[in-house]
A and B are shown apart, each in its own frame.
Chain A
C-alpha cells in the first residue's frame, strides 16, 4: 500500500529542519531558517574584517591613516542593514538594497549631517555636497603625488569606496552566493594603492586581503553552501574546508600573478602608477617613463615660454630623482616642514659664498596646462609674481605646490649661477659633509656587475672626483653610444630600473633617462653624490619674444614637449650641485664639463626653424615648462599612455569576459562529466542543468514551482515553432532520472549531443542582444544562488 507516503515522508524532507515545505531550497530560505542563529552576523563580521584587512593595503595612499576609524564605521553601517534584513527570509533578496541604503545613510551621517533630514536622510543638498567633496578629492588626487594629504575629501572618498566594496562583497558572497567573486570587491580596495603608490600594496594589506578572502570563502562554505552542496547540510562536509583553502590559495597565487603582470602593481615598469595617466588626467607620477613618452611624442606643443637676461640660459628643472633604494629612481618623500616663502632661497648644501656668481633674471610664462612643479633654474634665489602656496625644498632645490599649479602663471625667477671652471672642480672633493642626505649616495645591493666593471675601467686613471665624473660623461658622449628614443622600448628596457641599466650598457642605445640614470649610478659607485634632475633643455630661441624688462635685454625662448630632458647633477664639496650632460646629441655639455679631447657632438637637428641656443656655454642653457612631465594635456600623443591605456582596456575586457569564461568553464565541465561514466551525478541531471542554465542565459526565468515538463515547454517556446527532438530526449531522460524507478537507458553521448544541439538552437533563435547578454552576462551564474533547487 502507498499509505507510507504519509507515515514516512521523504527522508530528505525531514532533514529540512522545520519539517516544513520542501520547496524553496534557496539560499534565502536557508538563511531564513538559520536567521536566528549566528550565521548572518558571523558573515557580516567576516566581510567587515576582510574589507578592513584589505583597507590596510591603502596605507601610503594618504599621508596618514586617520580615515581608518571613519571607514570602519561606514563599513559596519553598510553591513548592518543587510544583516538585519536577513533576519526575515522574505527580505533577504533585498539585502543589497538595504546595504545601499545603509551606505548612503552612514556616509550622510558622517560627512553631511547638516544637509540631511534628521542627519541621515540625504537630500539634494547632500548630493551636491557629496559631488563637491568628490571633486575636491579628485583635485587632490590630480595635483598630488601619493601620499596625498590626509584631508576630509580624501577621507570621504575612502569611506565611500570601502563602504561600496563592503556592499559589493556582501551582495556577491551572500545574496548571489558567489563568495569567490567577492575577490572583485577586495581588488577594488587594493587598486588605488597599487596604482598610485610607489611601493605598491603593503604587506599588511596583502596579508589582510588574502586572509579576509579566505575567511569569506571558508565561512560561506560553512554557512552558505553553494548549489553543488545541499543547503540543508548543517556543516560543511570534510573536504570542503580543504577545497576552500585550495581555492583561496590559488586566488592568492593569482593575485600575486596579477600584481606582477599588471602595470601599476608593486613595482616594475610603472613604479609610480603612471597607469593612472592612461586616463589622461592623473598627476605627473612616473617622471622617467613619462619623460620618455614625451620625448618620443616629439610634441611640438609649447609647454612654456621664457625670456632671460642670461646669454646662455640654464636648464629649467622641475624635480629631481635621488631615491634609488628600490629598483627604480624616484623622488624622496617631501619633507613636512617646508618653507612657503620664495625669496632668498638657498639650497641645503650650496656652493660656498665666496664663489663669483652670475646673476640672471628669467620671466617664465606657462600657457595652458600646468602642474605642481615649478620650472626654475638650479641656482634660483628668488621667485616673484607667483600666486599660490609654493614650497621650497632646499634638499633638492625644487619648488612644489600642493594646492596650486603653474597653469597660466607668469612669474619672475632670479638666479645666481656660480662661475665654475675645470680647475675649481678639479680641486673639489666629493667627500660629503654630514648634512648631506645619505639618499644621494645610496645604492641598492644588486647593482649589476657590468656597472661596476665599466666604472672601474673608466675611472682607474682618474684622480679627482671631477676627473672621474668627466671620464664617465665622456664615455657616454663617445661614439660607442648613440641616442635613440625607440631602441629601449623596442628591446624592452625602457625606464630607469636596475635591469634596464645593464641592458643599456650592453646595447649602448638610449635617451636621456638612460644616460643620466647610468651616470648617476656610476657616480655613486665612485663615491660622488648624485641625483637626476628632470626638466627641460633651453628650448628654441624665439626672437619674437624679446623685450626689455628691468632695464635688461631679455631674450625669448620657447620650450616644447620634445625638449623634456633629464640629466645628472653631481655634488662637489664647496661647489654644490653641478649639472653634467652625458646624453649625446641632446642639450649642451657645460663648459666646465668639457674636455678638448672629447668633441662635442653636433646637436641633433630639431624641428626648430629659428635659432638654436648656442652650445657650450658656461652655464647649461635650458628652458622650462611644467606640463610635459605631467601628461595632463598630451595624453593623446603619448605612446606610453596608449600602452597603459591598452592595458586598461585589456583589463576591462578581461573583467567583462570573466563571466563568459566562468560560464563556458561550467559548460565544458558538465559536458565532460556527461561523458564520464565514473561521474556520480547522473548524466541526465548534468545535461538538464546545462540545458536549464543555457535557457536561463537566453532569458528563461527559473521558477522553483516549475516541473521539468513546464520548464521544457518554456524552452520549446524559445526554440521556435518546432520542438527539437533533443529537448524531448533530455526532458524524458531527466524525468526518469529524478522521478523514475530504474536506471535510464539514454546513452551519455546522446545526452551530450542533445544538450549541444538544443543550446545551439537557443542561440540561433535568439536576438543579437540576447546572444550578447547570454555571452557577457550569463544569468545562470546568478540564478544558482536563487533557485538552485528547481
Chain B
C-alpha cells in the first residue's frame, strides 16, 4: 500500500471532516462492496453473520472492537479474516505478561551509518491491529496500546508518529475469570466501540466448519475485496448518514437511563453515546438506509454499551448483568416519535 493513499484514507476515516461527503461513494456501490466483504468473511467464519456484520459496522464507524469469549471459538479467526478481506496492512500482537510497551509502539534505534536515531515502528503501525488475548498483558502495556487507539498516534522519545487510517484494533480477550489475566480497567474498556461475544457456533455451522476446515484453511483462499481507500470512502459514506433529532434524543435518553438505573454503579459515558451514534450510522449504511432508525440503536445498545457498564453488587447478586439491564432499559425508554421528528415539527407549526 502506498503511503500517500494510506494517509489520505486515514485523514478521511479518522476525522470525518466536512469533505467527507465529497469522498463518500454512491449508495449502490457502498451496498455492493459491503455485501461482498461480508460474504467473503462469512465463507471463513461459519455461522457468525451477526458478528461479521458488527465487526464491519465498527470498522466503518472508525471504532475498535473487543472480542471476548472462551478460547477456540474463532475470535482471532474473525479478526484475521476481516484484515485479509480488506487490502490493508495487518499486524498481530500476541499479548503476554512480559510484553513491553515498546514491543507495541516501536523503538528508536541508533543507526551507525547515518549517525542518528531511527524510529522502528512497532506492530501498532498497521491498518488493522489484532491484539490477541489483550488481558494477558500487564496494565502498562495495555495502556500503551489503548492510548494509541484513542489518540491514533504514537509518541516515542518525544516524537509523535501518526497512525495511518483506516486504523482499527481488534482485541480479543478471554473472560476475565480465566487464569493469568489482567482485567481491562473501565476507562480502557470505554475505548472499544463494541464488544462481541462470539459464542459457540450452532451445530449446523459447526458441521460445515469441520467439513471445510479439515484439509485446508479457508483463510488462505481469501482474496481482498476492498482497498484501504475504498474503506476510507465507505467510512466517509457512513459519516454522511443522517441522524434525526428524535434518534439523538433516544440515544441521550438511553444514556440517562443507564446513569439513573438503580442496578448500575456506572452508566454510559458521553463517549459511549457518541460511539453508539456512530455505530448506528454505520449500521444504517450497511442496511442501505440513508438515516438512522431507533432500531439501529437498539440493536447496537448491548454490544456498544454493555462492556462499559458496572452492575451494582446487590443487583449482580440477584442475577443482573449489564446485558439484562440494557434489555430492561430498552423495554422502558420511550422511543421518540412523531413529536420529536421532522413530521412532528411540521405538525406543530400548524
Give CA–CA (A24, B337) in the complex, Å: 11
What's the least CB distance linking A388 to chain B, in Å? 68
Give CA–CA (A682, B348) in the complex, Å: 11
| Given A10-B248, A738-B342, residue A22 in contact with residue B336 (CB < 8 A) | yes
Question: Which of B246, B339, B349 has a CB less than 8 Å from the CB of A739?
Answer: B246
Note all chain A residues with C-beta closer than 8 A to B274. 2-3, 5-6
| Given A21-B256, A22-B334, residue A707 in contact with residue B340 (CB < 8 A) | no
Question: Which of A1, A24, A689, A739 has a CB less than 8 Å from the CB of B244?
Answer: A739
- The chain A residue with its CB closest to the CB of B245 is A10
Structural contact, B334 and A21, CB atoms closer than 8 A = yes
Structural contact, B244 and A741, CB atoms closer than 8 A = yes
| Given A22-B253, A22-B340, residue A735 in contact with residue B346 (CB < 8 A) | no
Give CA–CA (A708, B291) in the complex, Å: 14
| Given A5-B252, A10-B248, A13-B249, residue A790 in contact with residue B335 (CB < 8 A) | yes
- The chain B residue with its CB closest to the CB of A741 is B242
What's the least CB distance linking A744 to chain B, in Å? 9
Stretch from B96-104, B129-137, B209-217, B325-333 that touches the partner: B325-333
Q: Does A312 make an interface contact (CB < 8 A)?
A: no
30 A-B residue pairings within 8 Å (CB atoms)? A1-B16, A5-B243, A6-B270, A6-B273, A9-B252, A10-B340, A12-B340, A13-B245, A21-B257, A23-B333, A23-B334, A24-B334, A680-B350, A681-B343, A681-B350, A682-B343, A703-B331, A704-B334, A704-B335, A705-B331, A705-B333, A708-B293, A708-B294, A708-B337, A738-B244, A738-B246, A739-B246, A740-B290, A787-B334, A790-B335
Structural contact, A22 and B249, CB atoms closer than 8 A = yes
The 5 closest A-B pairs by CB, nearest first: A23-B334, A704-B334, A741-B242, A738-B341, A10-B245
Q: Does A335 make an interface contact (CB < 8 A)?
A: no
Structural contact, A739 and B293, CB atoms closer than 8 A = yes
Give CA–CA (A689, B344) in the complex, Å: 13
Structural contact, B253 and A23, CB atoms closer than 8 A = yes
Structural contact, B334 and A25, CB atoms closer than 8 A = yes
Interface positions of A (Cβ within 8 A of B): 1-3, 5-6, 9-13, 20-25, 230, 680-682, 684-685, 689, 703-710, 735-742, 787, 789-790
Known A-B contacts: A5-B252, A24-B334. Give 12 more (CB < 8 A): A5-B243, A5-B274, A13-B249, A20-B256, A22-B249, A22-B340, A23-B335, A23-B336, A685-B344, A707-B295, A739-B246, A740-B242
| Given A21-B257, A24-B334, residue A682 in contact with residue B278 (CB < 8 A) | no
Note all chain A residues with C-beta closer than 8 A to B249. 9-10, 12-13, 22
Structural contact, A789 and B339, CB atoms closer than 8 A = yes
Structural contact, B248 and A681, CB atoms closer than 8 A = no
What's the least CB distance linking B262 to chain A, in Å? 15
What's the least CB distance linking A563 to chain B, in Å? 70
Q: Does B298 make an interface contact (CB < 8 A)?
A: yes
Most interface-central of B250, B293, B294, B337 (chain A CB within 10 A): B337
What's the least CB distance linking B186 to chain A, in Å? 20
- The chain A residue with its CB closest to the CB of B251 is A5
Q: Does B277 make an interface contact (CB < 8 A)?
A: yes
B side interface size, CB within 8 A: 49
* 303-350 of chain B: CB within 8 A of chain A: 330-350
- The chain A residue with its CB closest to the CB of B345 is A12
Give CA–CA (A706, B250) in the complex, Å: 12
- The chain A residue with its CB closest to the CB of B292 is A739
Q: Does B247 make an interface contact (CB < 8 A)?
A: yes
Give CA–CA (A705, B331) in the complex, Å: 6
Give CA–CA (A170, B335) in the complex, Å: 29
Note all chain B residues with C-beta closer than 8 A to A790. 334-335, 337
Structural contact, A707 and B335, CB atoms closer than 8 A = yes
| Given A1-B16, A680-B346, residue A736 in contact with residue B291 (CB < 8 A) | yes
Structural contact, A740 and B244, CB atoms closer than 8 A = yes
Structural contact, A685 and B277, CB atoms closer than 8 A = no
Structural contact, A21 and B333, CB atoms closer than 8 A = yes
Note all chain B residues with C-beta closer than 8 A to A1. 16
Structural contact, A685 and B293, CB atoms closer than 8 A = no
Interface string of B246-277 (1 = CB under 8 A from A): 11111111001100000000000010011001
Note all chain A residues with C-beta closer than 8 A to B350. 680-681
Give CA–CA (A709, B295) in the complex, Å: 7
What's the least CB distance linking A707 to chain B, in Å? 4
Give CA–CA (A737, B343) in the complex, Å: 6
Give CA–CA (A57, B339) in the complex, Å: 43
- The chain B residue with its CB closest to the CB of A19 is B256
